[in-house]
Amino acid sequence: MKKVAILVLESSVMQAIADPQYCFSAVNQFLGYSGKPLLFDIKLVGLRKEVKLNDGKYSVHADLLISDIQIYDLVIIPALFGDLNAALEANEDFLPWIIQQRQQGAEIASLCLGAFLLASTGLIDGKKCSTHWGFVNEFRRKFPFVEVQDGSIVTEENGIYSSGGATSYWNLLLLLVEKYTDRETAILASKYFAIDIDRSNQSAFMMFQGQKEHNDLEIQKAQNYIEQSIDGKLTVDELADLVALGRRSFERRFKAATNNSVLEYIQRVKIETAKRSFENSRKNINEVMMDVGYSDNKAFRTTFKKITGLTPIEYRNKYRKMA
C-alpha cells in the first residue's frame, strides 16, 4: 500500500485536509468495488493530537504525530489561511520532518498556499512551484530562489508537486490518483467529484491588481499613468520620458520592480479592464476593444486569450452578470 500522510497544520484550511482524505478513501472504495486491493493507507499527521481551526469552530484529530516513527510514500501539505507569517511560524516544527521524509524517498505535494510551507523547507530552491494566483508576488518576495509559475494549476518537478489557487488542488489530487493507479480510475474519480480532470491553468480566474509593492517612485508614477491611459496607445519611449529616464534604464527598473516588461504590464492592465467590462456591461467585443485602446481585432483577441486562457466571447459568456 501507498502510505499517505496528510499534515494537520495550524492555521490551515480544513477542507484541504478533509478533501485529500476523502479523495484517496473514495479511490480505495472504487478499487474495492472492482475486486482490486486497496491502495492508500491514509493518516492525518500532526504536531499534537488535536488542532482547532477557524477560530476554534472545528477540531481535527491527528492519527499520528510526527514523533511517531513512520516512513511515507506521499506527504500532503494542506493550504494555509490567514496571516501567512504567523502560520509559518506556528508550523515550523514540521520543516525538518518534511525534509527527512523527502530524503527517505517520499513525494511531497502542497495544496494552494501550502506552497509557502513547502518553500520554507528549501526543497524547491531552484525548482518550479505553483501557488494561489493572488499570492504570487508575495511568494516571489519571500522565496526569490523558487521559480513560481504564473497561472499554472499543477506543477511537478522530480516528485514534488504543487497546485494553484483554492479548489484547483483537486486537479493535483486527480493527477496523483492517476499516477498511483491508472487513467481509468482517475477519470472515474473526476466524474465522481465533478472535476474537470484536464484543466491546466488558473488564468481565467486571475485578477491583475498591479504590482506596486515596491519603492521605486518613478516606476510607480509610470504605472499610475498606464492605468489612467487605458484607451491610449502607450509606448515605452513615452513612459521613459515621463519619468525622465533613458529607455534601457527604465525598462530594466520596470522589470525589476513589477516582474513584467513594460509592454506586458500595459497589456495586462488593458485586458484586466476589458475583463471587468465584459463582466459588468452589455458592450460588444468591438466596443470593449476600442475602450481599452485596441484597433486591431486580431491583436486584441490574441492578447486576451494569451492572458486569460479564453477568447473574449468565451470569457464574456462565462462571467457576464445577468441583467
Contacts of 152 (CB under 8 A, 6+ apart): 130, 164, 200, 201, 202
pLDDT of residue 201: 56
pLDDT of residue 241: 94
Residue type at 138 in one-letter notation: E
Q: Report in angstroms the alpha-carbon separations of 273 from 22, 265, 277.
A: 39, 12, 6
pLDDT of residue 194: 82
pLDDT per residue as tens digits for the range 146-167: 998 876 778 888 899 999 877 7
CA distance 236 to 221: 14
- The residue ranges of DSSP E strands in the chain, in sequence order, are 2-8, 40-46, 50-53, 58-61, 64-65, 74-77, 107-110, 128-129, 147-148, 154-157, 160-163
Sheet containing strand 2-8, strands side by side: 64-65, 40-46, 2-8, 74-77, 107-110, 160-163, 154-157
Beta bridge partner(s), residue 53? 58
Around 101, how many Cα atoms within 13 Å sit in the side-chain half-sphere? 31
pLDDT of residue 211: 74
pLDDT of residue 260: 87
pLDDT of residue 203: 57
pLDDT per residue as tens digits for the range 46-75: 999 999 998 889 999 999 999 998 999 999
pLDDT of residue 167: 76
Residue type at 191 in one-letter notation: K
CA distance 30 to 174: 14
Residue type at 218 in one-letter notation: E
Low-confidence ranges of the chain (pLDDT < 70): 151, 197-210, 321-323
Which grid coordinates belong to 32? Answer: 474495492
Entry pTM: 0.70
pLDDT of residue 64: 97
Q: Are 81 and 12 in contact (CB under 8 A)?
A: yes
